[in-house]
Amino acid sequence: MDSSLANWLREKLRCTPPEIKGSSELRENLEELLNGKCRSLMIEILEDDRNESYDFNVITCGTLSIQPKSRKVIRDSMEISLTPKEFDILYFLADNRGEIFTKEQIYKAVWEESYLLDDSNIMAFIRKLRKKIEPNPDAPQYIQTIWGIGYKFNDKL
């Protein structure tokens, strides 16, 4: 396992819920590997009792959890119903936390059609998303507006 893969896996495990079996042991072993205390590490992926593999692509920010495998969004233990495009926009922004995107860049990342010079389309989706995921849509903490440029997902949570 090269160091970039080990660092990636360590970062994913940092956000892993503690109840996932073996996650803390794996994280400790990765630290040993990266610090040179061991030269190799064998990893075996097991399925849990429900015959489901853990989705390491889950993005957790504060009380918001975005699960791409099942396309679910959960905040404060409550599932939030999103349209497919709302989910795609939210996942795109969250997966690129801290990076600022113009409306055109968001459109190109989520839609397959050519960009239509209509900024109100993305603005409407962002407004709907905020109403659904933000505790206070008038003071958004997840999807932030960068005036004159576009939007970003908060990387401070």
- Strand runs labelled E in the chain: 59-61, 64-67, 72-75, 78-80, 143-146, 150-153
* Average confidence (pLDDT) over 36-54: 60
Task: Output the pTM of the full model.
Answer: 0.65
For residue range 121-140, list pLDDT tens digits in order: 899 999 999 999 999 999 99
Going from N- to C-terminal start, the domains of the chain cover 1-53, 59-153
Residue 81 has pLDDT above 90, yes or no: yes
Neighbours of 104 (CB within 10 A): 14
**Highest-confidence segment of 16-20, 75-79, 141-145:** 141-145
> Where do the DSSP E strands lie in 52-99?
59-61, 64-67, 72-75, 78-80
Q: Is CATH 1.10.10.10 what the domain over 59-153 is classified as, yes or no?
A: yes
Q: Given pLDDT bands bounded at 50, 70 and 90, which one contains residue 50?
A: very low
pLDDT-based confidence at 15, cuts 50/70/90? low
71 contacts 87 by C-beta, under 8 angstroms? yes
Secondary structure element (H or E) that encloses residue 123, with its range = helix 119-133
**Mean pLDDT over all residues of the chain?**
82
- Secondary structure letter of residue 115 according to DSSP: P
What is the distance between the alpha carbons of residues 94 and 60, in angstroms, rounded to a whole number? 9
The percent of residues above 90 in pLDDT, for the chain, comes to 45
